Amino acid sequence: MMKKSPLPLQSSSSRRNDNHIYGKEALVKLLRWHFGYADFRGKQLDAIQAILSGRDCFCLMPTGGGKSMCYQIPALVKKAGIVLVVCPLIDQENQVAALKEKGIAAEYLSSTQTSSVKNKIHEEIDSGRPSLRLLYVTPELIATPGFMSKLTKICARGLLNLIAIDEAHCISSWGHDFRPSYRKLSSLRSHFPSVPILALTATAAPKVQKDVIESLCLQDPLVLKSSFNRPNIYYEVRYKDLLNDVYSDLSNVLKSDGDVCAIVYCLERTACDDLSAHLSKFGISSAAYHAGLNDKLRSSVLEDWISSKIQVVVATGIDRKDVRIVCHFNIPKSMEAFYQESGRAGRDQLLSKSLLYYGIDDRKRMEFILRNAEGKKSKASNAQEGFSKKSLTDFHQMVEYCESSGCRRKKILENFGEQVSASLCKKSCDCCKHPNLVAKYLEELTTTSVLRNKGGSSQIFMSSSSCVNEGNFSEFWNRDDEASGSEEAISDSDDGIEVIRRLGHSKLPKKSGFNEKMDFLQRAEEKYYESKHEQSNKQNKNAVSDSLRESSRQRLLNAFKQARERLGDIKHQVETSATFLENECYKKYGKTGKSFYYSQVASTVRWLSTTTSVELTDRLGAIASSASQPETSSLASPTLDQGHQEHTTECFESSVVPKTLTCASPIECFSSPSAKLPAIPSFSEFINSKKAKDKQPRRSPGGVEKNSEKRMKLQ
Ligand SMILES: Nc1ncnc2c1ncn2[C@@H]1O[C@H](COP(=O)(O)OP(=O)(O)OP(=O)(O)O)[C@@H](O)[C@H]1O
Ligand SMILES: [Mg+2]
């Protein structure tokens, strides 16, 4: 590749605290010359100017936001000197190849290179005036005494312009990808006080940001943060347990979008190999790419993929800017990891898709791995315990992403501390685009899971999770969804008035006799209830069915059992408590529709997995008095906690309206003592019974007939 002639900016010094401000115009000129881009994106210019003025900088930009430009441009500004880039090996290979393509002198030093290549690079660095602009190294190399002394020499010659630490979250044990080798970078600030340090990450968790800045000892850094929204990515989750053949489903996705470039992430290397073989069977050109391959094979896979010889890579870490689909074949271990990996899609800003295949077994496997790690680490050191617990909490945020029916984009952004409205999504996630479908899948998934658990497995569908307390208990709630949910809530229209109103539109001959009028009224009433029935069928699509309530109660029951095993000393009875908790969920969101109800159940299950005995006793306090009662297996368990009483009152009230408007859960109506009251007949029932009685000889004047008339008036 031909070397592009340099276009350095005129600068007097490369020292820190140099107050020279590089103007936007000149920097844009450089950008256009070397990269062909019209202008800087987001906070790129701010970062570049801060660094060039000698200031430390912490730059938080979403995946694909253009972080590398923040150190690549400074490398091209100065006439001489090197920008040292510390980043994981996989990124080095990609970036160096891309820079060389553009004629920019960049190299990486790693154990994967032959010694002759390495020697050449060392010679270049040692030379009086290296033409090298960017040198990529791993954190492990920085830690070696030999390389440190080499860097010290370069710096002494005034040739170390900048130290950029990409993927800087790796330094934080709070991050999703902690690498102990990054810890060794802490000494860089004191070793090279005159060189600005730029830390870059796409990990937005505030704890991680703080940790990165402190661990790298950045001095008065300029902190730049951008929004994490990736508007060009459509987010979708598919449920493995509801698919007949997940491999063919994925193949169809990959085929239906044409021969687009895709990455499929798997949890393990063997899974990469296995999936790649499956995809090949379906006629999709794919290859596995992971650290388990030998260097030669890895390089050739990367080359084939970059040159579009193969469509799909099944990977544990890889990059290209026109990736259209990023698929997670297994649930990732945290939202941060998911965000970063899914963010590999659409780095060219064009429409792309993130598709996650969520499976109950995958979730259990990951939980097992994390719990095991937790066990081992807490044995080894108490200090690690918090860290390990955090991994489980992080993972459960990911579970929530998959199992909740609220906007996925909102969930991602909220996870990173950004409060946004779901309208931001503009229907670019499956939950916003097909809310009813997702709710249906989730319901099916719950049922599937309960059936599986009944089939012998001791585990439950959703256990686990983050600290959910009463205050933020409905973490799935969002006002936009609330509004849409309420549309489907049961209306309280006055049926009597509605029948009469409709009658007004019908024609009844003026000179009709009593019997004709009665027949007419009866037909009108039947017609009215027919249409009411159709209407309520429509509404019921989102209604919480009894079977959903029962399967939810089963889930809560399983979760409660696990909590009891975990905590040991719980006195509350399992059945009673599960019924109580289910009733609580139903009371809160039963009428809003199944999506919210479902989310609330999920949230309660997670709460059970982390709650303490005290919290549990507090919450179940309302049924403490009934703890001594024998357990009943029915959903209609007569544990009349306050919530339940409220319900039965509602049911009683609704029992005076016609049958089609009975309460959503008839079981509850019948569990109410007040349900023993005799049912009041509808108008038709009254007329029919009247007709039947007319045929019968009268027993007493005014007896039954009079009573019926009275009831009719009550209606
Ligand atoms: N100012 C710009 N205008 C247009 N495209 C740009 C600009 N800056 C960077 N890009 C392009 O955006 C893409 C993503 O850039 P880059 O790889 O630096 O992102 P990143 O923030 O490092 O993402 P990641 O977190 O995935 O590493 C690249 O193809 C890059 O060339
Ligand atoms: Mg990057």
User: For the segment 88-115, what is each residue's pLDDT rounded down to a tens digit?
Assistant: 877 788 889 899 999 999 999 987 788 8
538 inside domain: no
Selected residue with higher pLDDT from 312 and 199: 199
**Most ligand 1 atoms within 8 A of CB, residue of 101, 347, 350 to mutate:** 347
- Are 196 and 249 contained in the same domain? no
pLDDT in tens, 30-60: 999 999 999 999 999 999 999 999 999 999 9
657 inside domain: no
Count of domains in the chain?
Answer: 3
CA–centroid distance, residue 69 to ligand 2 (Å)? 9
Q: Which ligand is nearest to the CA of 61?
A: 1
- Are 78 and 164 contained in the same domain? yes
Confidence of residue 714 (pLDDT cuts 50, 70, 90): very low
**Residue nearest ligand 1's atom 25 by CA:** 63
Helix (H, G, I), strand (E, B) or coil at 353: strand
- Are 69 and 32 contained in the same domain? yes
CATH number, domain containing residue 88: 3.40.50.300
Question: ipTM higher than 0.90?
Answer: yes
201 inside domain: yes
Answer with the one of 560, 595, 610 that is the final residue of a domain: 610
Average of per-residue pLDDT across 556-580:
84
**pTM here?**
0.54
Confidence of residue 410 (pLDDT cuts 50, 70, 90): very high
- Are 291 and 397 contained in the same domain? yes
- Are 299 and 396 contained in the same domain? yes
Answer with the one of 162, 194, 225 that is the final residue of a domain: 225
- Are 198 and 265 contained in the same domain? no
Atom number in ligand 1 closest to CA 343: 26
102 CB under 6 A from ligand 1?
no
- Are 176 and 28 contained in the same domain? yes
Residue 487 CA, chain-centre distance (Å), reads 26
Q: Which amino acid is at 650?
A: E
Q: What own/partner pairs with CB < 8 Å and gap ≥ 24 does 684-693 have?
A: 684/522, 684/525, 684/526, 686/711, 686/712, 687/518, 687/521, 687/522
CA–CA gap between residue 435 and residue 595 (Å, rounded): 8
**Tokens 């044990």 belong to which residue?**
173
- Are 101 and 85 contained in the same domain? yes
- Are 51 and 107 contained in the same domain? yes
CA–centroid distance, residue 167 to ligand 2 (Å)? 7
Q: Which range among 14-28, 305-319, 324-338, 679-693 shows the weakest confidence by mean pLDDT?
A: 305-319
pLDDT in tens, 468-520: 222 222 212 122 222 222 222 222 233 333 333 444 444 555 555 656 665 66
Look at residues 544, 546, 644, 629 and name the one whose alpha carbon lies nearest to residue 590.
544
Selected residue with higher pLDDT from 7 and 433: 433
101 inside domain: yes
- Are 202 and 133 contained in the same domain? yes
Atom number in ligand 1 closest to CA 321: 29
690 inside domain: no
Answer with the one of 403, 433, 463 that is the final residue of a domain: 433
Q: Report yes or no: 57 and 50 within 8 Å, Cβ to Cβ.
A: yes
248 inside domain: yes
Q: Which ligand is nearest to the CA of 67?
A: 1
Q: Which two tokens stand for residue 408?
A: 């996925």
CA–CA gap between residue 488 and residue 538 (Å, rounded): 9
45 inside domain: yes
Average of per-residue pLDDT across 447-461:
45
CA–centroid distance, residue 483 to ligand 1 (Å)? 38
Confidence of residue 604 (pLDDT cuts 50, 70, 90): confident
Instruction: Give me the domain span that covers residue 38.
Output: 24-225
41 CB under 6 A from ligand 1?
yes
- Are 298 and 373 contained in the same domain? yes
- Are 192 and 273 contained in the same domain? no
Selected residue with higher pLDDT from 307 and 666: 307
CA–centroid distance, residue 200 to ligand 2 (Å)? 8
Atom number in ligand 1 closest to CA 68: 18
593 CB under 6 A from ligand 1?
no
Q: Which ligand is nearest to the CA of 342?
A: 1
**Across the chain, what does the average pLDDT equal?**
72
